[in-house]
Chain A
Amino acid sequence: MKNIFLFIVALFLVKNSLASISAEELLRASDQGRGGIKSGIEWVTEIETIENGEKSNRKFKVKTLDHDAYVEAIAPAKNKGEVYIFNDRNMWFYKPSLKKPVSISARQKLSGQAANGDIASTHYARDYSAVLEKEDSFNGQKCFVLLLKAKTKNLTYDQIRYWINAKSRLAVKAEFLTLQGKPFKVGTLEYANKFKLDGQVIAFVSSLTIADAKFPENKSIIKYSVPKAADHSAALFNVNNLTR
């Protein structure tokens, strides 16, 4: 009797452990489609923001290497030359007229473009622990729904509910949750881009639409184009080099 009980407990633990591993693996795989790759890559991003009826457009060139990113504003002309550097989880803002770069805190990231930058962050496997919550369908396709919980306190969102396509292993929908667990922003993703890395074709995000959960008319549409593998020097991501 005792042995049967131990066997059942062991089975239960193994089942949970497998589920946990697969959730983490799913998350890692989905990160790849949004730029979460160790090798250097680059792409161009166009952000169209509609907030309280006012529309704005911005264009950035993004260069990444592992956990670092160098984002340079290329349009509109008034923002040209502005640079955002992401070192791991830290974000820096710099423009040529500044004597020193400015580090942007998590609190500031909650507003405007910076918040979208945070949502568009590519390394969820690094920042969040994942639990397989349920299976669901999105756009008629089977999806795994993961509940992501922040590993550290300095992340903008404590929890994310994340839909990953069961077949492609790519994230297709995300709900960014408040501390009370209610959706704050909702994002949907499309993958029309492809690029080659080490002879392998990788599907890459082409569009991310982020809408305010309460006021869906307030939204940002982020379009990704010309993704490609690239060799980036580590010095590019060193914030100290910005002022030299």
Chain B
Amino acid sequence: MELSKTMFMNRKMLKLAFLNLFRNKRRSLSTGMAICVGFVGLNLLGAYIYRVKRALDTTSVYSALRGHVQIFKKDALVNYAIRPERYSLSPSEISQVSDILKVHASEIEYIGRNLSGSGLLSNGSRSHPVLAFSYEAEVYARSLMQPELLKWANDWVLPSQLENIDIFKQSEDVISITPKIADIMGFQYPLSSQESAQIAARTFTGDLNAVNVELGAEHTTGLQYLEDTIILVPLKKMQELLATENIESFSLYLKSSVSFTELKKQLDRELSQLSFPTETYLYFDEKINAMYVGTLGFLIVMGSFFVFLIGTAVSLTIVNSLTMGIIERTKEIGTLRAVGFRQRDVARIFVLENIQLCLFSIVIGIVITYFIAFIVNALNIQFTPPAVSGKVQFKLGWNLFIAGVITSLVLLLTWISSIIVMRTKLKVKLIDLINDSGA
């Protein structure tokens, strides 16, 4: 009996709050618009940050051939360049690590082995300093064909990379260079028509060595400052150049359902049992991917600043609108209190009024955001972000998860703003409320 009475009262309050929205249509409209614009702004900002994050995720894992988890010999990040022999994994160490990885076959989609070194790319008449990273044909092809990579970072995959995806399987001498290196070295297109090139580097034992390589493939690093530096060399060719059978690291490409951090913890435990010390890193670790951490950190700081600005503006609009409503309806509040409404009930009517206004604004905001995101993505607007090589599409990765988070945030903001106003404004005595002229 008591419960049905409460429900009846709540329904009445909800209806009353809804009807109140139409008493001052102009104010309700302006407040609703402010909430709606703020909501759309936050959604678009969230969509952009999400898109950048996904692009960074996929390029870090697949384009840069890092995988989700990388295994190095301990301290290799600092010392590999100085003492490569000691800080790389020897064939017997590779075999020991591989045995551990076999246990996790159900969690790992595929595994890559890496080796890198600095050297010179020569065309017979001049040389250009490069950083050479190894690749394995199968791993490279699988990484490039990842749907996630093509969805979020297709700007960083050259069309020719996909067209020539099998070129590495045909010859173990083919290297991949960037279009900028091709330009610097004067290599003509198609690259496969060029005579062989040579790469020279210092071997693990300190000798100068050089090998013949074939041109034919190209890639982009996506970064302006690396575009004239990075070449990709088949692992076997790289081992021949550096006169070693060692590798620098393993890259583990995990299945989508696997928790990276959990697997890393397990691997750390198991690898610690080996006779040599190792280190594992997730692809977003600052030590191996400072670019990722820096870019995302900057976007999050920038995003937080905008959230604060928009949130404050929305909050102030609600406070202002509610205060005006209370001042205008002081006499009415007094009457409600006189007929038995408690101060809490009156406050609830006002809060519900604002929550309903907020919900209407959010629904409209979701529709507007969807259309803006759709139009922006369809327009294929090209721009050059700082430090990025070439133009990329200004794409918004909006989804219902982002909308849900921002809806919760805006609703919370509305509720808090309403509660604060009601608490401060409804402390007036009943007799003063009834006597108020409404001015």
Contacts and interface: CB of A to CB of B under 8 A. Distances in A.
Nearest to B129: A107
7 contacts: A56-B206, A98-B198, A99-B198, A101-B124, A103-B127, A107-B129, A108-B119
Interface of A: 49, 51-52, 54, 56, 58, 79, 82, 93, 95, 97-105, 107-108, 111-114
Contacts of B195: 99-100
A103 B83 contact: no
Interface string B201-218: 010011111111000000
Given A98-B212, A104-B200, A51 B206 contact: yes
Contacts of B269: none
Contacts of A114: 208
Contacts of B291: none
Contact of A97 (B122, B123, B212): B212
| 10 closest residue pairs by CB, A with B | A100-B124, A102-B122, A102-B200, A103-B127, A102-B210, A102-B198, A112-B206, A99-B196, A99-B212, A112-B202
Nearest to B199: A102
A51 B86 CA distance: 13
Given A98-B198, A99-B195, A108-B200, 7 more contacts: A56-B207, A93-B200, A100-B122, A101-B198, A102-B127, A104-B200, A104-B208
A103 B208 contact: no
Contact of A112 (B83, B208, B212): B208
Contact of B210 (A98, A111, A113): A98
Contacts of A98: 198, 210-212
A103 B210 CA distance: 11
B125 interface: yes
Output the residue of B122, B195, B208, B210 with the most chain A CB within 10 A.
Answer: B208
The A contact surface, by secondary structure, is mixed
Contact of B198 (A52, A100, A112): A100
B122 A113 contact: no
B122 A56 contact: no
Contacts of B212: 97-99
Contacts of A82: 208
B378 interface: no
A99 B195 CA distance: 9
Contacts of A108: 119-120, 127, 129, 200
Given A103-B125, A107-B129, A95 B202 contact: no
A104 B196 CA distance: 17
Contact of A52 (B83, B119, B127, B209): B83
Contacts of B122: 100-103
A120 to B, nearest CB: 15
B202 A102 contact: no
A49 to B, nearest CB: 7
B215 to A, nearest CB: 13
Nearest to B85: A54
A88 to B, nearest CB: 15
Contacts of A99: 124, 195-196, 198, 212
B158 to A, nearest CB: 27
Contact of B127 (A49, A97, A105): A105
Contacts of B209: 95
Interface in B94-123: 119-120, 122-123
A106 B212 CA distance: 21
Contacts of B210: 93, 95, 98, 102
Contact of B120 (A95, A97, A105): A105
B193 to A, nearest CB: 16
B82 interface: yes
Contacts of A111: 202
Given A52-B82, A105-B129, A107-B129, A100 B196 contact: yes
Given A99-B198, A103-B127, A104-B127, A79 B207 contact: yes
B377 to A, nearest CB: 44
Contacts of B120: 102-105, 108
A170 B119 CA distance: 36
Contacts of B85: 54
Contacts of A101: 122, 124, 198
**Residue among B82, B120, B129, B212 having the largest count of chain A Cβ atoms under 10 Å:** B120
B82 to A, nearest CB: 7
B25 interface: no
Interface in B71-104: 82-83, 85
B80 to A, nearest CB: 13
B26 interface: no
B5 interface: no
A108 B211 CA distance: 16
Contacts of B206: 49, 51, 54, 56, 112-113
A107 B129 CA distance: 8
Contacts of B129: 105, 107-108
A20 to B, nearest CB: 36
B410 to A, nearest CB: 56
B23 interface: no
B196 to A, nearest CB: 5
A58 B205 CA distance: 12
Contacts of B427: none
Contacts of A97: 211-212
